[in-house]
Chain A
Amino acid sequence: MRKSYRSLALAVVGVIVIASSATGQCLTLVPDASRWGIIGAGVLMIALAVVSAMRDHHVASAYRAVAPAEPRLLDAAADKATGGAVEGAAEGAAALSRSARRAAAAAAAHALPRQPRRLRVGWGMVVPFVAFAALAPGPLGAYAGARGDGSVASLPTGGKASSAEQAGPVGPLAEMTLTAYSRLALSASAEQLRARTVLLTGFVLPGDSSTSWYLTRLVATAGAADARPVRVEVRSAVPAATGTWVGVLGTWPGAPGGTVDAPLAVIEATTVTPIVEPGQPYENPRP
């Protein structure tokens, strides 16, 4: 990677991350809280790109001044800068800053290339960000939802209901997250759910039988990076299209589904309504 491209690469990545944070494009992939850190990183990267490009220009001018006899080598100074011991360095570089002069003189005296190491891996940084900007991958969906066993026990916080979750919802009609519902329904305090109507939201994945399908939500603390699916088995005679977002009003049937290793909570649906996909599609495991 040539030196001038190094600055350019940093600037490109900086612009992409700032633009994607400012427009909200990245919020389907990262949690809201990380937005300001990402913007800050972008600003620092652009600043570093500008400063380093200016520095390169400065040092290249110094080389040109100290070694007018070798213009071809000097043109590449910012890039490779094979100096070569040259006379008349002091007068030629008099107009330039002290540090640039010293840098030029040092490289000239040692006749060694500055920055001899290759930096091919540097392109690796540009590729994912450009791909992200160009291809604009949306939030994770049905494909990620179908991987993994879908049980709350697979979450890093585990399948145990906290004391707040064990207390259960208040009132006869309650909106719950899939995580909270699953934890409560699979815990010893599941009786809390009796005689209550619960509203769950998520997207649809096909089930094993004709009368059931899975309501799925990706649970994540770090956006798409650590998203794990949590599924609730919906018993409903009405089929729903895979991948669509729905709200399910229903009741707890009193027994879990799934397998012994990965038990899933079950809901007996009374109504299923299509909804708009929420802006932040991931559920926080610690609401």
Chain B
Amino acid sequence: MTAEPPERSGSSAVPARRSDRHRGATPGPQRRSLLARVDGAAVRAREWFESVRGAIPWAGLAVAAGLIALVLARGWLHTAVASVEPLSTWLAVVASVCLQGLPFLVAGVLLSAALSVWLLPRMAHRLSGPLAPDADDPAEVPASRRGGPLAVPVSALAGLVLPQTSARAADTAAEWCRAGVTPGAAHAYRLSAASANPVALVSTAVFFPGQPGVLAARVGIGLVLALLVGWAWPVLSGASAARAGGLRAVPAGAEDSAEVGRFIDRARDDLLRGGGHLALAAALAAAFSQLVPASWLEAVGGSTLAAVAVAGVLAVLGGADAMANAVVAVSLTRFPLVAQLAYLVVGPAADLSTAVRLTAWLGRRGAAQVTVVAGALAVLGAVAAGVVLT
């Protein structure tokens, strides 16, 4: 980190003027050299100060100072927070959810980033299947000729074994479309990878112990949702299907050109993004179960439909990735199982942050359409599974 050039040139302009003035005022050669030396030292000191000032990461220091202040005031803060019971309870639940979601999030994000760099781009060629040999642009080939009738089910099944965060899966799907995969298959992959991937299934088994029905429902709903959206895609959005190959989710050259570099960047950014959304989802869910007046909770928890609706809204707003959202779902302790199931499946299929990310690829209308359809199907699936399970 060095000083910014304008500052440096500014500071070097000042000594030139000063030494001119000195030269005119003090003619004695010895005095001049002494003064010049002092002046030179002052200038150097000033330059050094300028360069140091430019190099100091002020925001970083502010964060560090804040952290130190927090550590020093820890005892006092602990007592102050512990005396406000709703606040300390809320904080304890949020911390507990974040801590327990973290291992699954880290594992899922690392796998997701690695797959998105090393495996998934190569799969696109297989899935796009026999292209018309004379077509330069894959988007010009009719969707029916790309990948054949198995493209949608194969990509939906691929999602069940390849974990991806929902944001990264959206990027992969966009990339596949540019490589010639039919948009239906790309969406089928995106939805099943984001909602029923292996890491998500392991975390569901951990946080819903002894309830294999929840696990089965998660797999079933994820797969059916992916297949339905995949098959319905051409019908569903005539206009946006035509555009689907055209837009780039990530501008060319915006990412590291080396594979290792891309993996590192994606892993870090997805982990921070996933962690941020996990924290947001945990905070919303804990606020709902710990801070909302008990009488409201009775009213919502008592009616299955209201509970499913509230869980769906919390899932859409929070946007926790499927790998970590099981622990958020179990923290909705006052909700019936069907609402927790809705939380599990609605979030990855239709959360707000993924919808926003999809707009870069599908445009506003296309993103809203596919998100609303996927969300509605997920809610229906959760209610159906809830009827079967209870």
Contacts and interface: CB of A to CB of B under 8 A. Distances in A.
Interface of A: 1-2, 4-10, 12-13, 17, 20, 26, 29-30, 34, 37-38, 40-42, 44-45, 48-49, 51-52, 55, 59, 71-72, 75, 98-100, 102-103, 105-107, 109-117, 119, 121-125, 127-144, 147-148, 156-157, 221-228, 286
A99 B257 CA distance: 8
A222 B267 contact: no
Given A34-B99, A124-B279, A127-B279, A226 B333 contact: yes
B188 interface: no
24 contacts: A6-B272, A9-B272, A26-B99, A41-B103, A48-B264, A71-B5, A110-B251, A112-B253, A125-B276, A125-B278, A125-B279, A127-B279, A128-B279, A131-B91, A132-B91, A133-B70, A134-B77, A137-B88, A143-B85, A147-B294, A147-B297, A222-B331, A225-B93, A226-B330
B4 A75 contact: yes
A43 B261 CA distance: 20
B111 to A, nearest CB: 11
Contacts of B60: 4-5, 8
Nearest to B103: A37
Contact of B92 (A107, A125, A138): A138
A111 B276 CA distance: 30
Nearest to B268: A52
A141 B85 contact: yes
B272 A122 contact: yes
Contacts, number: 242
Interface stretch (B24-32, B40-48, B207-215, B220-228): B207-215
Nearest to A5: B60
Contacts of A72: 4-6
B261 A55 contact: yes
Contact of B258 (A13, A38, A103, A122): A103
A106 B107 CA distance: 30
Contacts of B86: 143
A48 B268 contact: yes
A54 to B, nearest CB: 9
B78 interface: yes
Contacts of B367: none
B265 interface: yes
B271 A48 contact: yes
Interface residues of B, number: 81
Interface of B: 1-2, 4-6, 57, 59-60, 63, 67, 70-71, 73-74, 77-78, 81-82, 85-86, 88-89, 91-100, 102-103, 105-107, 110, 207-211, 251-261, 264-265, 267-269, 271-280, 282-283, 290, 294, 297, 327, 330-331, 333-334, 337, 353
A71 B2 contact: yes
Nearest to B328: A225
A157 to B, nearest CB: 7
B265 to A, nearest CB: 7
Nearest to B98: A128
B103 A34 contact: yes
Given A59-B256, A156-B208, 20 more contacts: A8-B60, A10-B271, A34-B100, A55-B265, A75-B1, A99-B260, A103-B256, A110-B252, A112-B251, A114-B254, A125-B274, A125-B276, A132-B95, A134-B77, A141-B85, A156-B337, A222-B331, A224-B92, A225-B327, A225-B331
A64 B193 CA distance: 40
A222 B92 CA distance: 12
B105 to A, nearest CB: 8
A123 B279 CA distance: 10
B110 A44 contact: yes
Nearest to B5: A72
Given A128-B95, A144-B290, A225 B257 contact: no
A286 B208 CA distance: 13
A114 to B, nearest CB: 6
B371 to A, nearest CB: 18
A225 B96 contact: yes
B290 A135 contact: no
B71 A134 contact: yes
B355 to A, nearest CB: 14
B283 A128 contact: yes
Contacts of A4: 57, 60
A40 B102 CA distance: 10
A25 B261 CA distance: 36
A52 B258 contact: no
Contacts of B258: 98-100, 102-103
Contact of A130 (B1, B67, B254, B297): B67
B59 A5 contact: yes
A207 B208 CA distance: 33
A75 B7 CA distance: 14
Contacts of A71: 2, 5
Interface centre among A37, A143, A223, A225 (most CB of B within 10 A): A225
Given A29-B95, A48-B271, A225-B331, A136 B253 contact: no
A221 B209 contact: yes
B91 A30 contact: no
B70 A134 contact: yes
A12 B275 CA distance: 13
